[in-house]
Amino acid sequence: MLKPHVTVACVVHAQGKFLVVEETIRGKALWNQPAGHLEANETLTQAAARELWEETGIRAEPQHFLRMHQWIARDRTPFLRFLFAIELNEMCATEPHDSDIDRCHWVSAEEIFSATNLRSPLVAESIRCYQNCPRLPLETIAAFNWPFTGDA
């Protein structure tokens, strides 16, 4: 039976720039979107907001759902990655609370597309989705009969 890892990621955009987090993996500084695993007792949107705060120190809620990617990582791990969009009015300061994150950068789409240090190809693909895919309402992936909050 297939049991993929469920992850969330946020494309955060402000003033023509995108927010990436930098983490060192096997001695190499790699870029990713603020992203991570879905935890018990949280909805996908709650997970996205939590990961954003943990990795960047920014408190913001996903505004739109962009896409769900089903993919297999280089190590053959299967994933379902739920991608959200967050539009901020300005590029704000960041303060990672996750010890795995070294720093955050505001960069252009072109810098991401030409970067040789992306954690996975999904980082650039997420920016392409932000640029070209319709923004779907969060209700597209709403929780059903969710017992942990009164909002679903």
Measured between alpha carbons, how far is 65 from 142 in angstroms, rounded to an integer? 11
Strands (E), the chain: 5-14, 17-25, 28-32, 35-37, 64-72, 78-87, 103-107
**Residue 55, pLDDT score:** 98
The per-residue pLDDT for range 103-138, each reduced to its tens digit, is: 999 999 999 999 999 999 999 999 999 999 999 999
Measured between alpha carbons, how far is 114 from 109 in angstroms, rounded to an integer? 9
The per-residue pLDDT for range 13-54, each reduced to its tens digit, is: 999 999 999 999 999 999 999 999 999 989 999 999 999 999
pLDDT tops 60 at residue 150: no
**Residue 142, pLDDT score:** 85
Measured between alpha carbons, how far is 84 from 70 in angstroms, rounded to an integer? 15
| Contact in structure between 151 and 49 (CB atoms under 8 Å) | no
pLDDT tops 70 at residue 152: no
The per-residue pLDDT for range 46-80, each reduced to its tens digit, is: 999 999 999 999 999 999 999 999 999 888 999 99
Instruction: List alpha helices for 9-151, DSSP H.
Output: 44-56, 109-114, 122-132
| Contact in structure between 91 and 15 (CB atoms under 8 Å) | yes
| Contact in structure between 122 and 29 (CB atoms under 8 Å) | no
Instruction: Tell me what the mean pLDDT of segment 79-84 comes to.
Output: 97
Measured between alpha carbons, how far is 1 from 134 in angstroms, rounded to an integer? 32
**pLDDT grade for 149, boundaries at 50, 70 and 90:** low
Q: What structural domains and CATH numbers belong to the chain?
A: 5-141 (3.90.79.10)
Distances (CA, A) of 9 to 32, 48, 52, 123, 124: 9, 6, 8, 9, 12
